[in-house]
Amino acid sequence: MSKKNMLKKAIRYSIILLVLAIILPNLFVELGSRKFTYDELIEIPYNKVGLVLGTTKNTVSGHLNPYYIHRISAAVALFNSGKVDYLLVSGDNSETYYNEPISMMNDLIEQGIPEDRIYLDYAGFRTLDSIVRSKEIFGQESITIISQEFHNKRAISIAHFKGIEAVGYNAKDVSFRIGLKTNFREIFARVKMVYDLIFNKQPRFLGETIDI
Protein backbone atom coordinates (compact mmCIF):
# COMPACT_ATOMS: atom_id res chain seq x y z
CA MET A 1 0.00 0.00 0.00
CA SER A 2 1.37 3.38 -0.99
CA LYS A 3 2.03 6.09 1.59
CA LYS A 4 -0.71 8.18 0.01
CA ASN A 5 -3.30 5.43 0.44
CA MET A 6 -2.12 4.76 3.98
CA LEU A 7 -2.56 8.43 4.79
CA LYS A 8 -6.05 8.45 3.31
CA LYS A 9 -6.95 5.37 5.33
CA ALA A 10 -5.58 6.90 8.53
CA ILE A 11 -7.57 10.10 7.94
CA ARG A 12 -10.72 8.09 7.25
CA TYR A 13 -10.38 6.10 10.47
CA SER A 14 -9.60 9.26 12.44
CA ILE A 15 -12.79 10.89 11.17
CA ILE A 16 -14.82 7.80 12.07
CA LEU A 17 -13.36 7.74 15.59
CA LEU A 18 -14.02 11.45 16.02
CA VAL A 19 -17.65 11.07 14.94
CA LEU A 20 -18.13 8.13 17.30
CA ALA A 21 -16.52 10.08 20.14
CA ILE A 22 -19.21 12.73 19.65
CA ILE A 23 -22.21 10.53 18.87
CA LEU A 24 -21.81 7.89 21.60
CA PRO A 25 -21.80 10.27 24.61
CA ASN A 26 -24.89 12.00 23.23
CA LEU A 27 -26.65 8.64 22.76
CA PHE A 28 -25.67 7.71 26.32
CA VAL A 29 -27.32 10.86 27.64
CA GLU A 30 -30.44 10.65 25.48
CA LEU A 31 -31.17 6.94 26.02
CA GLY A 32 -30.32 6.95 29.70
CA SER A 33 -32.37 9.99 30.70
CA ARG A 34 -35.41 10.22 28.45
CA LYS A 35 -37.70 8.36 30.87
CA PHE A 36 -36.79 10.67 33.73
CA THR A 37 -37.75 14.12 32.44
CA TYR A 38 -41.23 15.59 32.82
CA ASP A 39 -43.12 18.42 31.19
CA GLU A 40 -46.28 18.11 33.27
CA LEU A 41 -46.49 18.81 37.00
CA ILE A 42 -49.20 16.22 37.51
CA GLU A 43 -46.89 13.46 36.28
CA ILE A 44 -43.63 14.24 38.06
CA PRO A 45 -42.98 12.36 41.33
CA TYR A 46 -42.46 14.15 44.64
CA ASN A 47 -39.00 14.88 45.99
CA LYS A 48 -38.11 16.80 49.11
CA VAL A 49 -35.71 19.09 47.23
CA GLY A 50 -35.72 20.69 43.80
CA LEU A 51 -32.29 21.62 42.46
CA VAL A 52 -32.40 24.76 40.31
CA LEU A 53 -29.37 24.85 38.02
CA GLY A 54 -27.95 28.32 37.64
CA THR A 55 -27.33 30.48 34.65
CA THR A 56 -26.73 34.18 34.15
CA LYS A 57 -29.76 36.44 34.58
CA ASN A 58 -28.75 38.78 31.76
CA THR A 59 -27.29 38.11 28.35
CA VAL A 60 -24.14 39.80 27.08
CA SER A 61 -26.34 42.36 25.32
CA GLY A 62 -27.99 43.24 28.65
CA HIS A 63 -31.36 41.62 27.99
CA LEU A 64 -33.00 39.20 30.40
CA ASN A 65 -31.84 35.65 29.74
CA PRO A 66 -34.91 33.55 28.78
CA TYR A 67 -33.26 30.37 30.09
CA TYR A 68 -32.99 32.00 33.52
CA ILE A 69 -36.54 33.40 33.49
CA HIS A 70 -38.06 30.06 32.51
CA ARG A 71 -36.08 28.16 35.18
CA ILE A 72 -37.32 30.50 37.89
CA SER A 73 -40.92 30.12 36.67
CA ALA A 74 -40.55 26.32 36.59
CA ALA A 75 -39.14 26.26 40.12
CA VAL A 76 -42.02 28.38 41.42
CA ALA A 77 -44.59 26.15 39.70
CA LEU A 78 -42.96 22.99 41.07
CA PHE A 79 -42.89 24.36 44.62
CA ASN A 80 -46.44 25.71 44.51
CA SER A 81 -47.72 22.37 43.24
CA GLY A 82 -46.33 20.62 46.33
CA LYS A 83 -43.96 18.47 44.28
CA VAL A 84 -40.98 19.75 46.30
CA ASP A 85 -40.72 21.25 49.77
CA TYR A 86 -37.41 23.07 49.34
CA LEU A 87 -35.45 24.65 46.52
CA LEU A 88 -31.67 24.37 46.33
CA VAL A 89 -30.33 27.03 43.97
CA SER A 90 -26.88 26.22 42.68
CA GLY A 91 -24.71 28.49 40.60
CA ASP A 92 -21.55 30.47 40.06
CA ASN A 93 -20.33 32.93 42.68
CA SER A 94 -16.73 33.23 41.52
CA GLU A 95 -16.66 37.00 41.10
CA THR A 96 -17.43 39.85 43.50
CA TYR A 97 -20.27 41.30 41.45
CA TYR A 98 -21.59 38.06 39.97
CA ASN A 99 -23.72 35.83 42.18
CA GLU A 100 -26.15 33.45 40.51
CA PRO A 101 -27.54 31.86 43.72
CA ILE A 102 -28.39 35.21 45.33
CA SER A 103 -29.98 36.43 42.12
CA MET A 104 -32.12 33.29 41.88
CA MET A 105 -33.07 33.45 45.54
CA ASN A 106 -34.19 37.07 45.26
CA ASP A 107 -36.35 36.35 42.23
CA LEU A 108 -37.88 33.26 43.87
CA ILE A 109 -38.74 35.28 46.97
CA GLU A 110 -40.24 37.99 44.79
CA GLN A 111 -42.52 35.35 43.30
CA GLY A 112 -43.71 34.16 46.69
CA ILE A 113 -41.33 31.38 47.73
CA PRO A 114 -40.57 31.65 51.49
CA GLU A 115 -36.93 32.44 52.16
CA ASP A 116 -36.64 29.62 54.69
CA ARG A 117 -37.49 27.14 51.92
CA ILE A 118 -34.54 28.19 49.78
CA TYR A 119 -30.99 26.90 50.20
CA LEU A 120 -27.99 28.37 48.42
CA ASP A 121 -25.11 26.50 46.83
CA TYR A 122 -22.47 29.07 46.00
CA ALA A 123 -20.08 26.56 44.41
CA GLY A 124 -22.17 25.24 41.54
CA PHE A 125 -19.59 26.28 38.97
CA ARG A 126 -20.52 23.45 36.61
CA THR A 127 -23.40 21.05 36.29
CA LEU A 128 -21.26 18.24 37.68
CA ASP A 129 -20.38 20.35 40.72
CA SER A 130 -24.04 21.16 41.39
CA ILE A 131 -25.13 17.53 41.15
CA VAL A 132 -22.34 16.05 43.26
CA ARG A 133 -22.66 18.76 45.90
CA SER A 134 -26.42 18.18 46.19
CA LYS A 135 -25.50 14.76 47.60
CA GLU A 136 -22.15 15.28 49.31
CA ILE A 137 -22.87 18.69 50.89
CA PHE A 138 -26.67 18.88 51.09
CA GLY A 139 -27.33 15.19 51.73
CA GLN A 140 -29.83 14.47 48.96
CA GLU A 141 -29.99 10.92 47.62
CA SER A 142 -33.06 11.73 45.53
CA ILE A 143 -33.68 15.04 43.80
CA THR A 144 -35.71 16.89 41.19
CA ILE A 145 -33.55 18.88 38.78
CA ILE A 146 -34.98 22.06 37.29
CA SER A 147 -33.64 23.34 34.00
CA GLN A 148 -34.37 23.09 30.28
CA GLU A 149 -34.84 19.54 28.96
CA PHE A 150 -31.50 19.33 27.13
CA HIS A 151 -29.72 20.38 30.32
CA ASN A 152 -31.82 18.17 32.58
CA LYS A 153 -30.87 15.12 30.53
CA ARG A 154 -27.17 15.72 31.04
CA ALA A 155 -27.64 16.51 34.73
CA ILE A 156 -29.73 13.36 35.25
CA SER A 157 -27.04 11.27 33.56
CA ILE A 158 -24.45 12.64 35.99
CA ALA A 159 -26.75 12.07 38.96
CA HIS A 160 -27.52 8.46 38.07
CA PHE A 161 -23.83 7.74 37.52
CA LYS A 162 -23.15 9.17 40.99
CA GLY A 163 -25.84 7.06 42.64
CA ILE A 164 -28.46 9.80 42.98
CA GLU A 165 -32.08 9.09 42.09
CA ALA A 166 -32.94 12.06 39.91
CA VAL A 167 -35.77 13.26 37.74
CA GLY A 168 -36.00 16.50 35.82
CA TYR A 169 -38.76 19.08 35.52
CA ASN A 170 -38.39 20.74 32.15
CA ALA A 171 -38.48 24.51 32.14
CA LYS A 172 -39.77 26.14 28.98
CA ASP A 173 -37.15 26.16 26.24
CA VAL A 174 -36.30 29.02 23.89
CA SER A 175 -36.85 29.27 20.15
CA PHE A 176 -34.61 27.33 17.77
CA ARG A 177 -32.96 30.52 16.53
CA ILE A 178 -32.16 31.87 19.99
CA GLY A 179 -31.04 28.50 21.34
CA LEU A 180 -28.99 27.35 18.35
CA LYS A 181 -25.61 28.26 19.85
CA THR A 182 -26.49 26.75 23.23
CA ASN A 183 -27.77 23.52 21.71
CA PHE A 184 -24.65 23.18 19.58
CA ARG A 185 -22.48 23.71 22.65
CA GLU A 186 -24.49 21.08 24.53
CA ILE A 187 -23.35 18.39 22.08
CA PHE A 188 -19.76 18.87 23.21
CA ALA A 189 -20.70 19.42 26.87
CA ARG A 190 -22.03 15.86 26.87
CA VAL A 191 -18.78 14.57 25.42
CA LYS A 192 -16.84 16.33 28.16
CA MET A 193 -19.30 15.01 30.75
CA VAL A 194 -18.56 11.40 29.80
CA TYR A 195 -14.82 11.90 30.09
CA ASP A 196 -15.26 13.69 33.42
CA LEU A 197 -17.23 10.72 34.73
CA ILE A 198 -14.72 8.19 33.38
CA PHE A 199 -11.83 10.00 35.04
CA ASN A 200 -13.81 10.74 38.22
CA LYS A 201 -13.65 14.53 37.94
CA GLN A 202 -14.51 16.11 41.30
CA PRO A 203 -16.19 19.43 42.14
CA ARG A 204 -13.90 22.41 42.58
CA PHE A 205 -15.04 22.73 46.21
CA LEU A 206 -16.79 20.50 48.71
CA GLY A 207 -16.75 21.59 52.35
CA GLU A 208 -18.94 21.15 55.43
CA THR A 209 -22.31 19.47 55.12
CA ILE A 210 -25.55 21.45 55.32
CA ASP A 211 -28.79 19.83 56.42
CA ILE A 212 -31.97 20.55 54.47
pLDDT at 177: 77
Beta bridge partners of 120: 89
pLDDT tens digits for range 165-199:
999 999 999 887 777 888 889 999 999 999 999 99
In order of start, what are the domains of the chain with their CATH numbers? 3-198 (3.40.50.620)
Question: At residue 137, does pLDDT exceed 90?
Answer: yes
What ranges in 34-91 are assigned the alpha helix state H? 66-80
Residue 45: name the closest of 54, 53, 36 by CA: 36
pLDDT tens digits for range 58-113:
888 878 999 999 999 999 999 999 999 999 999 888 765 678 999 999 999 999 99
43 vs 167: CA distance, rounded Å = 11
pLDDT tens digits for range 104-128:
999 999 999 999 999 999 999 999 9
pTM (two decimals): 0.90
30 vs 130: CA distance, rounded Å = 20
CB–CB of 54/100 below 8 Å? yes
